[in-house]
């Protein structure tokens, strides 16, 4: 047994114990232990993947985009090795590589890793990715992540250090990211080319409104989502690069699905996406651009995207008694706004269960709920149950968004809140909007009712 | 707006730049609580390069921003709006400055080699420390009227350490969290109706009693204002206090 193999064995044993005792930390713990034993473990294990690795990072959409890419790659005959949703720091990546190691070999051909935006610079170099997909940067968890521009500077350093052989795939509609690609030798841009879905004005919490080069406010011809759109700097002329992979003729169907025409240098094809909202069109575009860079055929991409399933809590649907439940993770203003935008498209009055926690993984600073535009749904709400550690402030936010107070209910635990919300929906639909740790609690609650498997058993 | 009721005129300074910690929530609370009482509400913005009318509003608000945006605003405040804000304070107008905006009320904000000018409305200086940012839930105790102790709860997240000059009064005493500098147990500043604080979260939704005090002070109305149904407001305040451990 080599030295690395011995360390892999030891770290894996710890993971087994953690998992059997039902601890959540079982996801990251073995990887963190492995890194402690062998600081170069990620580099050494990732080098064994015969087709190398690709990396996805963003504020919003990492997990969904990775799931979409996996669905395409599987159809292209490539077995991806993925880290699990949320296990996207060094420990999670190392754990994934660890659990796939079989002696000197590794299960899976291509590493498909989502990385936390703050961990990109620490983990991506070790993975030596063939392609790096950057989807978006939004205001998120300021208490943990700090200012957006600080993250952008760190990403810029990652991009500058990329070898020419790494394909950089960047969202042309995000000015902050598009600028990172400006001097990169090997870059693909993707973006939306459909002005009919533009919104009339920039949402309140938008960031990156000023040119990264000269500080002048961008002029927008069209705004699609947050600060994503068609922009140009009136002072220095820096403008949105023309995307070579684009979504045209976009149609959004409420909280259900979306369709668009995918145009790429190799041709065009219609895409039926079983996931809702413009934000998922962006995720699908990113996944398509990534898979094109891996030489997947256009028809395989269309088939894979059409077959992709929502991951863990991202527009996931299930039936609970007579009620159709849709779970829509919310975690920052830009993401929440897109969820609210899809909810507005629903015809019937909305029954909601909204759960706001303030644990570390949610962000301890809950001020972001005041940046999200809950005003959008104020006229559409039939009843909202608010739960979680900061249930009252969430209800207060809705009150000041002018949801009538008699439609707001504050429940205690997630269990009680789910009971309350279901009891109040005679038939039809309930939309659940949890923050990240609330989603984990909800999962456990649903699992205890026998509805869904515990999430760490769902994927490998 | 009801017959004979006044109108609260609010001027938001740089709302396009200084808005990082959901400062909109503060304005929304002021607007709603005026409206629910039949008090009129007008909001206008004053941004980079705009002349500021010291008589144009009853309450002037400035929030927090990212470093680059704060720098732009600091220069604009010093060059364009400084005299007007002194005139506001001189006539007893109300000013609320949160986080980055609060830092600019003093003499200067020193960040390493660079020093941002302040408008010197109150006697304080701010220095970016070498240590960690001061981040977390916080609560302070304050005495707006003699003998009447109240609590403000919120969230703080700042790299700067603010030190008040001798004789300058803090807004409150730290019950939980770091406050102005993490060492002297003081938080914010208050000179009459000029208030600066690091507490966001945002501040006013978590402390609607303080929003009401600002409205009453800015309009010269008797405090407290007529009561509203504040069950949710009280529950949210209690949650924020609990989060800070107070």
Burial of A243 (0-12, 13-18, 19+ CB in 10 A): buried
Average pLDDT, chain A: 90
Cβ separation A205–B16 shorter than 8 A: no
CA dihedral angle for residue A438, residue A444, residue A450, residue A455, rounded to 10 degrees: 90
Contacts of B41 in chain A (CB under 8 A): none
Instruction: Confirm whether B2 is domain-assigned.
Output: no
Cβ separation B238–A204 shorter than 8 A: no
| Closest CA of chain A from B22, distance in Å | 5
Residue among B11, B34, B178, B200 flagged as catalytic: B200
Task: Measure the CA–CA gap between B188 and B98, rounded to whole angstroms.
Answer: 9
CA dihedral angle for residue A139, residue A311, residue A171, residue A164, rounded to 10 degrees: 110
Cβ separation B239–A405 shorter than 8 A: no
Cβ separation A367–B239 shorter than 8 A: no
Residue A459 has pLDDT above 50, yes or no: no
Average pLDDT of span A391-397: 98
Locate the chain B residue with the closest alpha carbon to A394: B236
User: Which pLDDT value is given to residue A426?
Assistant: 75
First to last CA, chain B: 38
| Closest CA of chain B from A233, distance in Å | 17
| B156 interfacial to chain A (CB closer than 8 Å) | no
CATH topology of domain A53-81+102-307: 3.40.1190
**ipTM metric:** 0.97
- Contacts for A446 with CB less than 8 Å, ≥ 6 apart: A318, A320, A452
User: Which pLDDT value is given to residue A104?
Assistant: 86
Range of the domain at B153: 7-244
User: Which pLDDT value is given to residue A92?
Assistant: 93
Task: Measure the CA–CA gap between A274 and A279, rounded to whole angstroms.
Answer: 13
Which residue, among B237, B55, B163, has the nearest Cα to A390 in the 3D structure?
Answer: B237
For chain B, the domain total comes to 1
| B44 interfacial to chain A (CB closer than 8 Å) | no
Cβ separation B136–A143 shorter than 8 A: yes
Residues of chain A with CATH 3.40.1190.10: 53-81+102-307
| Closest CA of chain B from A353, distance in Å | 17
| B22 interfacial to chain A (CB closer than 8 Å) | yes
| B228 interfacial to chain A (CB closer than 8 Å) | no
Average pLDDT of span A142-165: 86
Contacts of A370 in chain B (CB under 8 A): 22, 24-25, 28, 202, 205
User: Which pLDDT value is given to residue A212?
Assistant: 80
The bridge status of strand A257-264 relative to strand A245-253 is antiparallel
Distances in Å between the Cα of B221 and the Cα atoms of A275, B28, B216 are 53, 20, 5
User: Which pLDDT value is given to residue A103?
Assistant: 85
Check the CA dihedral B196-B199-B203-B208 and report its sign: negative
CATH assignment at residue B126? 3.40.50.880
Instruction: Confirm whether B48 is domain-assigned.
Output: yes
Summarised one tens digit per residue, pLDDT across range A247-292 is 999 999 888 899 999 999 999 999 999 999 999 999 999 999 999 9
- Contacts for A77 with CB less than 8 Å, ≥ 6 apart: none
Cβ separation A149–B206 shorter than 8 A: no
Which residue, among A106, A120, A139, A141, has the nearest Cα to A62 in the 3D structure?
Answer: A120
User: Which pLDDT value is given to residue A54?
Assistant: 98
User: What's the length of chain A?
Assistant: 460
Residue ranges for chain B with pLDDT beneath 70: 1-3
Instruction: Confirm whether B13 is domain-assigned.
Output: yes
The string of DSSP codes covering A234-295 is TTT--BPPPPSEEEEEEEEETTTEEEEEEEETTEEEEEEESS-SHHHHHHHHHHHHHHHHTT
Please give the residue that has the higher pLDDT: either A200 or B192.
Answer: B192
DSSP state of B170: P
Residue A21 has pLDDT above 80, yes or no: no
| Closest CA of chain B from A360, distance in Å | 11
A149, A367, A408: residue with CB nearest B200: A367
Query: Best mutation site among A203, A208, A355, A366 for testing chain B: the one with the most B CBs within 10 Å?
Result: A366
| B36 interfacial to chain A (CB closer than 8 Å) | no
- Contacts for A112 with CB less than 8 Å, ≥ 6 apart: A53, A54, A56, A66, A69, A70, A73, A80, A81, A82
Cβ separation B155–A365 shorter than 8 A: yes
Cβ separation B16–A209 shorter than 8 A: yes
| pLDDT band at A359; cut points 50, 70, 90 | very high
Average pLDDT of span A370-376: 95
Residues of chain A with CATH 3.90.190.20: 314-457
Instruction: Confirm whether B27 is domain-assigned.
Output: yes
Residue A456 has pLDDT above 50, yes or no: no
| Closest CA of chain B from A162, distance in Å | 27
Residue among B11, B99, B178, B237 flagged as catalytic: B99
Average pLDDT of span A39-66: 95
User: Which pLDDT value is given to residue A205?
Assistant: 58
Residue A458 has pLDDT above 60, yes or no: no
Least confident range of A27-41, A46-60, A88-102? A27-41
Instruction: Confirm whether B1 is domain-assigned.
Output: no
Angle, nearest 10°, between helix axes B208-219 and B231-244?
120
Residue A226 has pLDDT above 70, yes or no: yes
Q: Is B124 within 8 Å of B162 (Cβ atoms)?
A: yes
The CATH H-level (homologous superfamily) assignment of domain A314-457 is Mur ligase, C-terminal domain (3.90.190.20)
| B35 interfacial to chain A (CB closer than 8 Å) | no
- Is B200 tagged catalytic? yes
Average pLDDT of span A319-337: 91
User: Which pLDDT value is given to residue A348?
Assistant: 83
User: Which pLDDT value is given to residue A455?
Assistant: 45
Locate the chain A residue with the closest alpha carbon to B238: A392
Residue A123 has pLDDT above 60, yes or no: yes
- Is B158 tagged catalytic? no
The string of DSSP codes covering A443-454 is HHHHHHTTSS--
Q: Is A190 within 8 Å of A244 (Cβ atoms)?
A: yes
User: Which pLDDT value is given to residue A18?
Assistant: 64
B22, B32, B135: residue with CB nearest A368: B22
């Amino acid at each position: 047994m080599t030295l690395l193999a011995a360390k892999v064995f030891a770290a894996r044993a710890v993971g087994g114990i953690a998992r059997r005792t039902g601890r959540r930390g079982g996801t990251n713990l073995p990887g963190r232990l492995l890194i402690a034993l062998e600081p170069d473990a990620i580099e050494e294990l990732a080098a064994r993947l015969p087709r190398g690795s690709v990396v996805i990072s963003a504020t919003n959409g990492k997990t969904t985009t990775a799931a979409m890419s996996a669905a395409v790659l599987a159809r292209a005959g490539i077995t991806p090795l993925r880290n699990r949703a949320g296990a996207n720091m060094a420990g999670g990546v190392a754990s994934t590589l660890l659990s796939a190691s079989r002696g000197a070999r590794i299960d899976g051909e291509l590493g498909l890793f989502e990385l936390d935006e703050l961990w990109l610079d620490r983990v991506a170099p070790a993975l030596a990715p063939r392609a790096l997909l950057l989807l978006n940067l939004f205001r998120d968890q300021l208490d943990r992540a700090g200012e957006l521009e600080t993250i952008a500077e760190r990403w810029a350093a990652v991009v500058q250090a990329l070898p020419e052989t790494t394909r950089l795939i960047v969202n042309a509609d995000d000015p902050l990211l598009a600028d990172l690609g400006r001097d990169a030798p090997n870059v693909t841009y993707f973006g939306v080319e459909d002005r009919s879905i533009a919104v009339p004005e920039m949402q309140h919490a938008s960031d990156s409104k000023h040119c990264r080069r000269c500080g002048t406010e961008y002029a927008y011809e069209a705004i699609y989502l947050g600060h994503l759109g068609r922009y140009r700097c009136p002072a220095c002329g820096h403008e949105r690069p023309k995307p070579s992979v684009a979504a045209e003729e976009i149609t959004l169907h409420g909280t259900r699905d979306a369709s668009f025409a995918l145009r790429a240098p190799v041709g065009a094809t219609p895409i039926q996406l079983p996931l809702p909202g413009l934000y998922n069109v962006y995720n699908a575009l990113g996944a398509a651009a990534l898979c094109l860079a891996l030489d997947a055929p256009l028809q395989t991409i269309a088939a894979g995207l059409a077959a992709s399933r929502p991951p863990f809590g991202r527009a996931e649907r299930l039936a609970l008694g007579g009620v159709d439940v849709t779970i829509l993770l919310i975690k920052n203003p830009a993401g929440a706004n897109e969820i609210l935008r899809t909810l507005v498209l629903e015809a019937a009055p909305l029954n909601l269960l909204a759960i706001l926690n303030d644990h570390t993984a949610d962000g301890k600073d809950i001020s972001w709920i005041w940046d999200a535009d809950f005003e959008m749904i104020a006229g559409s709400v039939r009843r909202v149950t608010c739960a979680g550690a900061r249930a009252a402030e969430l209800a207060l936010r809705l009150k000041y968004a002018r949801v009538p107070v008699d439609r707001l209910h504050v429940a205690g635990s997630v269990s009680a809140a789910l009971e309350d919300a279901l009891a109040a929906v005679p038939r039809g639909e309930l939309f659940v909007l949890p923050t990240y740790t609330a989603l984990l609690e909800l999962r456990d609650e649903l699992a205890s009712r026998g509805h869904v498997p515990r999430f760490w058993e769902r994927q490998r | 707006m009801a017959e004979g009721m006044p109108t609260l005129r609010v001027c938001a300074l740089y709302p396009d730049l200084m808005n990082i910690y959901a400062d909109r929530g503060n304005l929304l609370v002021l607007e709603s609580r005026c409206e629910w009482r039949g008090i009129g509400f007008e909001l206008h913005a004053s941004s980079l390069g705009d002349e500021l009318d010291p008589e144009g509003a009853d309450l002037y608000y400035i929030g927090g921003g990212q470093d680059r945006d704060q720098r732009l605003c600091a220069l604009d405040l010093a060059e364009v709006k400084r005299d007007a804000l002194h005139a506001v304070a001189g006539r007893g107008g109300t000013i609320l400055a949160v986080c980055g905006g609060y830092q600019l009320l003093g003499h200067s904000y020193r960040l390493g080699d660079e020093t941002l000018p302040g408008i010197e409305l109150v006697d304080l200086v701010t220095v970016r420390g070498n240590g960690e940012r001061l981040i977390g839930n916080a609560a302070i105790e304050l005495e707006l009227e003699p003998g009447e102790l109240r609590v403000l709860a919120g969230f703080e997240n700042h790299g700067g350490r603010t030190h008040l000059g001798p004789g300058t009064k803090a807004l409150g005493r730290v019950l939980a969290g770091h406050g102005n500098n993490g060492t002297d147990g003081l938080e914010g500043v208050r000179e009459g109706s000029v208030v600066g604080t690091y507490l966001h979260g945002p501040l006013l939704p978590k402390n609607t009693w303080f929003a009401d005090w600002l409205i009453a002070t800015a309009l010269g109305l008797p405090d407290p204002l007529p009561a509203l149904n504040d069950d949710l407001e009280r529950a949210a305040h209690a949650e924020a206090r609990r989060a800070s451990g107070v």
